[in-house]
Structure 1
């Protein structure tokens, strides 16, 4: 039996947790089938950093690429899920325990349960030394199951910048609570939004 694709992206709803002060997600039926005579037409507003999303380097660097300028191949291919549940700060020292040779995309499972509707008050963070370590391993994409790779109150964003300096791209707010550690195929394509600092993604994995 062929292995099935599993959705690891947060479902958008009008109750989804939003970064404090950012644009909340809202979907509504703008025109009903009864109004148009033929079709229902919906519309939504959102921050590009709500739910499961890819950060473009332009998010934190005015001179860096926007989301549509990134190679789609970054977001398609083999990935490895590792379990670092309960680790508050993740860097070179914590990841050296895992076999990462040949890995190109790394997904960090940090929580036993993710709350989609409640924005967290505290999250695990990535250490600044993770960028150089991932580059040494040949990893160019990292995914996390929380809203940021840096502390929620940090304005300097050392992990964001360190990852970018070392050629590592970022996906945040994955749903990995029901995913076992191991090797997978990943598809997590951002939308082609010109000039955008990020984009929602529909992230799916399949065990290999």
Structure 2
């Protein structure tokens, strides 16, 4: 990969940011200051693993699914295709078949005009479960979205999570794609290797593919 020109598409982790209703909010502070220790500031944070821009491990929705430390890091690094679906209120096979997905290994869906990290959206684009089989047919191994979840907020079945899991498609949620144009990009969004975890915040960056 060439150096430079990376665009950050991550929701910054900051106190007061929006979290999934009822989940643990993000909080950062200093547990000790340099003045107190005589040598260094020492920070600590409390958070849900599904805060801001984050990866879902299959264990999040499947008791027998892979946990985060078992995920292949190669999935989270490589070429990605950004597709603009902002004109649709619901996205599934029918809508995605209108786009050229051939050769794409990672797909980033630009679904909303604006993603405000400080406000949890009251409504967002529905992703229908038939998306999983289509992505599998296309050889896509990762789906990234700019909304809080691949399922709607009141879903208990998490049908789209399961559809993607069964298709072998990894999930990244809450990307910041407002300023990103459709096209092919180099992409990095590595989760932390938290042993036994169901998810992790990521630092996601892209730049135009060569």
Identify whether the pair has TM-score above 0.5, normalized to the shorter chain: yes
Q: Quote the Cα distance in structure 2 between the aligned partners of 1:99 and 1:42.
A: 46
Describe the superposition over 1:149-198 as per-residue Cα deviations: whole angstroms up to 9, x where unpaired. 01100000110000011111100000000101110000000000000000
Task: Return 5+ residue gaps in structure 1 as ranges.
Answer: none
Q: Quote the Cα distance in structure 2 between the aligned partners of 1:154 and 1:89.
A: 15
Query: Which residue of 2 is the match for residue 170 of structure 1?
Result: 171
Query: Structure 2-normalised TM-score?
Result: 0.97
Shift of 1:89: 1.1
Give the conservation status (yes or no) of the 8 Å contact 2:102–2:138: yes
Q: Quote the Cα distance in structure 1 between the aligned partners of 2:110 and 2:4.
A: 21
Describe the superposition over 1:40-64 as per-residue Cα deviations: whole angstroms up to 9, x where unpaired. 1110010000100000000000011
Describe the superposition over 1:23-76 as per-residue Cα deviations: whole angstroms up to 9, x where unpaired. 000000111110011111110010000100000000000011101101000000
Q: Quote the Cα distance in structure 1 between the aligned partners of 2:112 and 2:126.
A: 12
Query: Which residue of 1 is the match for residue 7 of structure 2?
Result: 6
Q: Quote the Cα distance in structure 1 between the aligned partners of 2:4 and 2:184.
A: 13
Q: Quote the Cα distance in structure 2 between the aligned partners of 1:51 and 1:183.
A: 24
**Correspondence list, 1:153-164, <5 A:** 153-164=154-165
The structure 1 segments of at least 4 consecutive aligned residues displaced by more than 4 Å after TM superposition are none
Give the conservation status (yes or no) of the 8 Å contact 2:112–2:125: no
Describe the superposition over 1:67-113 as per-residue Cα deviations: whole angstroms up to 9, x where unpaired. 11010000000000000013111111101111111100000001111
Q: Quote the Cα distance in structure 1 between the aligned partners of 2:37 and 2:190.
A: 32
Give the conservation status (yes or no) of the 8 Å contact 1:55–1:198: yes
Shift of 1:2: 6.2
Query: Which residue of 2 is the match for residue 17 of structure 1?
Result: 18
Query: Which residue of 2 is the match for residue 81 of structure 1?
Result: 82
Query: Which residue of 2 is the match for residue 92 of structure 1?
Result: 93
Q: Quote the Cα distance in structure 1 between the aligned partners of 2:92 and 2:108.
A: 13
Q: Quote the Cα distance in structure 1 between the aligned partners of 2:162 and 2:37.
A: 48
Give the conservation status (yes or no) of the 8 Å contact 1:3–1:207: no
Query: Structure 1-normalised TM-score?
Result: 0.98
Query: Which residue of 2 is the match for residue 32 of structure 1?
Result: 33
Query: Which residue of 2 is the match for residue 135 of structure 1?
Result: 136
Q: Quote the Cα distance in structure 2 between the aligned partners of 1:151 and 1:86.
A: 18
Q: Quote the Cα distance in structure 2 between the aligned partners of 1:124 and 1:98.
A: 18
**Correspondence list, 1:38-117, <5 A:** 38-117=39-118
Task: Return 5+ residue gaps in structure 2 as ranges.
Answer: none
Give the conservation status (yes or no) of the 8 Å contact 2:106–2:141: yes
